[in-house]
Structure 1
Amino acid sequence: MSTFVSRISPVTGRLEWVMQSDDYDYHQEVARSAYGDMLHDTERNKLYEVGLKHAIKWMHEKGKQAFVLDIGTGTGLLSMIAVRAGADKVVACEAFKPIAECALKVIEANNMADKITIIKKRSTEMNELDLGGRANILVAEVFDTELIGEGALGTFHHACSELLDQNDRIVVPSAAHIICQPVSCPFFRGWHEFKEIKIHDDKNYEHNRANNNTSSSSDTTAEASTTDKCSSSNQSSSRCKFISPPKKVKCCTGAPSVHDVQLNRLAHDHFLPIGDPKIVFSFDFTETSGGPLKFIEHESVNFQAVNDGVIDCIFMWWQLKMDMNGEVILSTAPRWGHPTPNDMQWRDHWMQAVYYPSKVQKVVRGQEFKVNCHHDEYSLWFDLSHPDVISSSSTSKMLVDHDQSTGSSDNRGPGCTCSAHIACSRTRVAMLNDVERNRKYIRALKKVINEDSVCFCTSDDSLLPLIAAKLGAKKVISLQPNQLSRQFLQSYVEANDLQNCVKVVSSLEDEQLKKENVNIIMGDPYYSTSLLPWHNLHFLYAKTELINYFSKPKKAKKKKSVHSDVTDNNIDGSPIFFADQTKDLSGDNLNLKAPSLLSRGDGLVIFPCSASIRAIAVQFENLHKLRGSPVNICEGFDLRPFDQLMSYSSDQSDAYLEPHPLWEYPAIPMTEDFELLFFNFDPNACIVGGVRQLEREGLVEFISSGTCSGIAVWYSINTALNDQTDETDFANDNVLIGGLLSPPQPGQTLNWDPYSRQGVHFFKIPQVVDDGKFRLKFKTVFQPKTGEFEFKFSVISCKI
């Protein structure tokens, strides 16, 4: 059955009702369980098999039966490997019931139903009676990027205490090491620390400002006395060369969540090693050599600088000992720290992590320094031990002894105290710090901002209002409905002494706002509710509403308009207008013209001026394994029941496109990039609303032979007035690209914007294509009334 559920449209911002299956949440949880990624991890599967073979052989050599407990069995793969390796008894537990049912089907399909028992419980809810006695071999894969984030410490400790033989037991893996490396990496530091933004960075601007001031000198006194304008003191002191982050933002330790990332995609010149990688924590999962696992530890680890530099980031990864002797190692290290850098397994379920010390530290080669390393039961955090900071060793000892059984302590690690790191995601922080992006915004705004500019900004967590104020705007209003976003922006306003120029409001309910003679509506555009790139087209709806809100209709003779049906086509009384053009199959830009009623927008500047949704067909190196690549046979076992479950659940719950940071995932182009839709933001080309749809379809030639595994879709904006340059011009200084940064070259890895996520459609079965024999067919439909997009991509033979 299906029912109506309410949701807020990220594009229109309106409440809407949609039909949703009663089992939607169930299928979404199944589809997002990421088992497919693990099953494609060949190295993981093979090394677990090596560990199990060693353990089972060891038990048999001692004259004992090999009784294997598989915790978190998933599809049952490790249990079946144990049976194949000679285990005498296998019991597996799986708390996620849909997957437990799937495991039963997989085991039956492989004729092992009489050899493996599945218990649908968490291991921590079990005792030896559930098992029919204590096992002597434990195999478990309960790890995440931080190793311990899925409760590995508690899981292994409980198993050793309650479920395993107390005399002879083997755990696969037997142990783990956490490794960290201090580095200098301004690239990643920019995802954490808010930077200053330079404003007056070109001589032409200063020259133009000087000329403008000379020509309008007679108005200087009046301007200084106008309350709506920034004070003369502000003009001389606050309108300086920088927008500075508030002190409390600078001092904040930032978001406590781990920053997991594919470090292998980090360019060599984007970081400098300051210390060699070093083991900072070790865990004996058998609890035989070092006693019970410690849920809380604090270590101060000595390093020696191998380069001059500033330590601003700490990289982390881990490794597992898959056998009892520690000779079989599974490593999640990046290429420069990996034991076999030329033969590395790609995986997305375990990545590397970046941590940010509260203060950076400058060192010279050969200098010794310390990294303070901490973990509780579920998380890690790191900091630098500065010479001027009193040692916390006594506190650390107290915390270690505080409560080993629960892992509780008073030291919770880093946490945001300034609200900025909560209001802004790491990607948004990096976007705000992007020098090139800011340069383009500043360059474009200089052409439209003057001393009479009254600006209204509709973007979340945007610093454009401060940039506009620094460039000389008379007044800037920023709409920030979210309280944390208001606090974030208001703190910036006060830190830069712009209270007289920038006003932060929570809504349009303030009647005084209507009196403002707004002549510039602007935005990044960026909205925190946007998951996919084109969700930021909410700007289209927001600016249309603002045009209506601030409009001052001129008196005119009554005359029947050729667009007299505009009012009848309004949606729910909203200030929305339809487009004259509804379909374009010719390949030209959608030149979306609005009714003449919008002449009331005369003299109004919309910034940015236009947006384009673009796409390209790609061959992913690995990313398609997450969604579009069935497992079929894995390590010799038939996993097709799992494929069927994943496929069905994906069909029920997955969107046609999903967001991914493609800079982390290598791909080569299969086609040139092409445009799906174009949107003109000009006041006289407003295309929101109405009952008609915008539609575009076409065929695209493949430029390479290979396997087309998916389509990448992104969103670009143009900041220049009357700029007719196509957004395919990668050198266009007016275009801010949220996707492909350079022209695609056959066989060459694509270059993506790291500060945006792109939409990705995965073909269920990757399509093998020959250049010249196949084409990509696309169709894009936009419903202005609902803000919904429909995308369709398919590979067709040229014979069709």
Structure 2
Amino acid sequence: MTSLSLVPKPFVPFLSFRCHSVTRLRSVATRTMSSQSSQRVFQLRQDPLTGNSEWIVIEENDQTGAPETSPDGLLATTSYLDMLNDSYRNRAFRLAIEKTITEPCHVLDIGAGTGLLSMMAARAMRIEESGDVSKGIVTACESYLPMVKLMRKVLHKNGMTKNINLINKRSDELKVGSDMASRADVLVSEILDSELLGEGLIPSLQHAHDMLLVDNPKTVPYRATTYCQLVESTFLCNMHDLENNDGPGLESLIGIKSQQYGMHVDAIEKEIKLLSEPVKIFEFEFWKRPESNGELEVHIEAITEGSIHAIISWWVLQLDSEGTIFYSTAPRWIDSNSEIGLRDWCDHWKQCVWFTPGAGVSISEGEKVHLHAAHTCTNILYNLKKTQSVTHEMTQSPLSTGDLHLTLPPERIAIYGDSTYRQFMLEATRNALQGKSHTQCLVIDDSLLLPLMTLHISNRSRVLSLSPGLKEDGARYLEAIADANGFSKDRFEYFREGKAKLAEAYPGEIDLLIGEPYYYGLESGLPWQNLRFWKDRTLLDSVLSEDAVVMPYKGVLRGCAMYLPDLWKSRCCLGSVEGFDHALVNTTLGGCGDLPAGKGSPCLPFFIWQCGETKRLSKKFTVMEFDFSKPITGPCSGDEQIELLKPSVCHGIVLWMDWVMDKENSTVISTGPDERYWKQGVKLLEKPLTVREDGLSSIRIQASLDPSSNGELIITHTLS
């Protein structure tokens, strides 16, 4: 297979990875319609088995804080809970607000969330006994209706409704004279993501300064400063470099585009070699109107020799004007000896990685590189130059589009570049084709690897591909690589007309139905959402021949009990947050801990290896199996009792999928905690379970899947 090419010339599609910004709403999609009497929000929900989406209607018929009408768990997948559990963040904002707001005034809170900063501001205006409290007001804007409804209840619970005017709008929709009586004297806001700019900080500040704030307003935060550092890391290199790997058919893959990618780099500290000191890049002042674009060039001297595989970036908030209150997202090796570095693990803000091109930029100790940094309204971009020669010149913005851009997350890049994974898939595909001639093969997922492997292994095979997530871009890409490798059009076809037409066109003619399984767009979801493969296989049952082979043969839901103190703390139920009662948000935000009877924490996706301190407390166990050789016929379930043998504290159950590729179980692709390129599902316990030296504890795990409902896998547990 070494002669295969995945990128034909002159056709050069850009195979890049998508940057998932860590925002408080993550991937929640909404549409809002309004009238004088009510507002209606349509919440986008996807059926993981079918890939189909539907809009759920969320009504809002009053403005007084009536009982919650949205479905339980609507906000559970957001990062609000993690953010509210960040005690260092909360304390820093409280101290800065109390220091900045010393008399009654008009305060604007952009992106108010549960109202924590608004309540801090309202309380701060009561500190001066001589002040006229009646003149103090907070205008709080929050665009996401379910959060607005939750905030109203929090304000009511804390007796803070009098001086806080909550408006369900984006800040750029606010108008002085209707929504606000006057321009605000003080701005408090926390609209920051891991890259800093991804939540719209710059346009929000621009509009606020133009239309909503007085001249020279006070602000909390006062400024933000971004920093970066050059590093060498084989692990990070593998997450973007397919051009220089030695795998079959991948060595000529070009056009990888670099974007900032949020991750917990502390987890790979031992796999990182620092090549430079930290370098200050941009400062963004909250107290004045920012520019939409900016750029600078800095000379960075290498402190040791190596290859620059990535640029790690972070930011530091200065919350007060005097520069005494800070919050930093720097890696542990930067802030280990400073006060702002002593913070809890959290998931709402991470560090960012900018991947340098190809195999990296080699550098000697004392040698200087020129780093060109630029920012748009939403992104910070880097470009490295070594001496007078350009090592990587960006001819267009990473945000622009060309003829074809195939965007993949860096974990998928690493998977395709992993020789062990490719060998597993190669052997599984070869075994599935064994004994078959003139095979009609159907690839039903978004695999870019299997169509090419199948065509190369069997010169008599014909391959159909659906690529339901990549769609037309996937079609053009696969057709181009097939042509580049000399596979005639009668041997490869991208089927554009959908599953129904496919069933009509090829009844009983498919000898091999395969997938990895991998569906574009589900990378950040729970691992069993790729059971969509089973649903698709069921819908296409009529195209299979009598002796057809289905690969993978089955899926196995696996798990183990784990010690997860950092993750549990970040998701535990709230009580008082800086003096404000937040207990009523716990069920809606998916907290673990002291929940009402019958309410459990949701199962959420995480890279376990990035979740701070972790430890296994049980053997791996099987919860249930899914037989892909047969179509889905109805609900299925599993039940397993886990014994906790090690003296420790159990915080939750980690679950994942093993994909058994063949009937003989000879090839198994695991997505468990040992594999760092897949997310696992985490079911946190209501309370940590202590396992003593002389005791034996157990947890019963039950799982059920009803394909006739919304396609969700339901996970429950009981302690014994």
- Shorter-chain TM-score tier: 0.7 to 0.9
Q: Secondary structure at the match of 2:446?
A: coil
The 3 A distance-change label for structure 1 pair 714 and 419 is farther
Q: Secondary structure at the match of 1:166?
A: strand
The corresponding residue for 2:348 is: 349
Q: In the alignment, is residue 91 of structure 1 matched against residue 138 of structure 2?
A: yes
Q: Which amino acid in structure 2 is aligned with residue 145 of structure 1?
A: S
Q: Which amino acid in structure 2 is aligned with residue 612 of structure 1?
A: V
Which entry has the higher C-alpha Rg, 1 or 2?
1
Distance 1:132 1:517 in 2: 71
Cα drift, residue 614 of structure 1: 0.8
Distance 1:529 1:156 in 2: 31
Cα drift, residue 367 of structure 1: 1.5
The partner residue of 1:313 within 305, 310, 315 is: 310
The partner residue of 1:250 within 251, 254, 257 is: 254
Q: Secondary structure at the match of 2:415?
A: helix
Distance 2:311 2:56 in 1: 46
The partner residue of 1:466 within 452, 459, 465 is: 452
Contact map agreement 2:537 2:631 (CA 8 A) in 1: no
Percentage identity across aligned positions? 23
Aligned pairs for 1:310-709 within 5 A? 310-338=307-335, 340=337, 343-357=342-356, 360-385=360-385, 387-389=388-390, 412-415=397-400, 417=402, 419=404, 421-422=406-407, 424-445=408-429, 453=437, 454=439, 456-458=441-443, 459-471=445-457, 473-481=459-467, 482-499=471-488, 503-506=492-495, 520-528=512-520, 530=522, 531-540=525-534, 542=536, 548-551=542-545, 600-601=546-547, 605-624=549-568, 628-643=571-586, 646=589, 657-666=603-612, 667-681=614-628, 686-690=629-633, 693-704=635-646, 707-709=649-651
Distance 2:579 2:401 in 1: 48
Q: Which amino acid in structure 1 is aligned with residue 232 of structure 2?
A: S
Cα drift, residue 243 of structure 1: 0.4
- 1:16-75 deviations in whole A, cap 9, x for unaligned? 99998778878776445532222111111111122223324xx6xxxx766644333333
Aligned residues: 642
The partner residue of 1:265 within 267, 280, 295 is: 267
Q: Secondary structure at the match of 1:180?
A: strand
Distance 1:72 1:51 in 2: 18
Contact map agreement 1:469 1:501 (CA 8 A) in 2: no
Cα drift, residue 468 of structure 1: 3.7
Distance 1:612 1:101 in 2: 40
- 1:654-679 deviations in whole A, cap 9, x for unaligned? 99534333332243334332101224
Q: Which amino acid in structure 2 is aligned with residue 253 of structure 1?
A: K
The 3 A distance-change label for structure 1 pair 416 and 159 is closer
Contact map agreement 2:483 2:489 (CA 8 A) in 1: no
Contact map agreement 1:457 1:464 (CA 8 A) in 2: no
Q: Secondary structure at the match of 1:754?
A: coil
Structure 1 or 2: more strand by fraction: 2
Q: Which amino acid in structure 2 is aligned with residue 347 of structure 1?
A: C
TM-score between the two structures when normalised by the length of structure 2? 0.77
Cα drift, residue 430 of structure 1: 2.6
The 3 A distance-change label for structure 1 pair 791 and 493 is same
Q: Secondary structure at the match of 1:266?
A: helix
Cα drift, residue 177 of structure 1: 0.6
**Aligned residues: CA RMSD:** 4.3
Cα drift, residue 773 of structure 1: 5.4
Distance 1:679 1:348 in 2: 32
Distance 2:46 2:115 in 1: 40
Contact map agreement 1:451 1:473 (CA 8 A) in 2: no
The 3 A distance-change label for structure 1 pair 416 and 335 is farther
Distance 1:53 1:18 in 2: 42
Contact map agreement 1:12 1:787 (CA 8 A) in 2: no
Q: Which amino acid in structure 2 is aligned with residue 622 of structure 1?
A: D
Q: Which amino acid in structure 1 is aligned with residue 275 of structure 2?
A: I
Contact map agreement 2:250 2:417 (CA 8 A) in 1: no
Cα drift, residue 480 of structure 1: 2.3
Distance 1:607 1:130 in 2: 58
- 1:273-307 deviations in whole A, cap 9, x for unaligned? 333221111122223xxxx4222102122111223
Q: In the alignment, is residue 147 of structure 1 matched against residue 196 of structure 2?
A: yes
Structure 1 or 2: more helix by fraction: 1
Q: In the alignment, is residue 279 of structure 1 matched against residue 280 of structure 2?
A: yes
- 1:397-443 deviations in whole A, cap 9, x for unaligned? xxxxxxxxxxxxx9744446464533x34433332222221132234
**Which deviates more, 609-618 or 525-534?**
525-534
Distance 1:244 1:622 in 2: 38
Contact map agreement 1:36 1:625 (CA 8 A) in 2: no
Q: Secondary structure at the match of 1:421?
A: strand
The 3 A distance-change label for structure 1 pair 489 and 139 is same
Consecutive unaligned residues in structure 1, runs of 5 or more: 200-241, 397-409, 552-599, 724-732, 742-752
The 3 A distance-change label for structure 1 pair 267 and 718 is farther
Aligned pairs for 1:128-277 within 5 A? 135-166=184-215, 169-195=217-243, 198=246, 242-244=248-250, 250-253=254-257, 258-269=260-271, 271-277=272-278
The 3 A distance-change label for structure 1 pair 306 and 435 is farther
**Which deviates more, 485-494 or 140-149?**
485-494
TM-score between the two structures when normalised by the length of structure 1? 0.70
Contact map agreement 1:245 1:492 (CA 8 A) in 2: no
Q: Secondary structure at the match of 1:275?
A: coil
The 3 A distance-change label for structure 1 pair 111 and 390 is closer
Q: Secondary structure at the match of 2:658?
A: strand
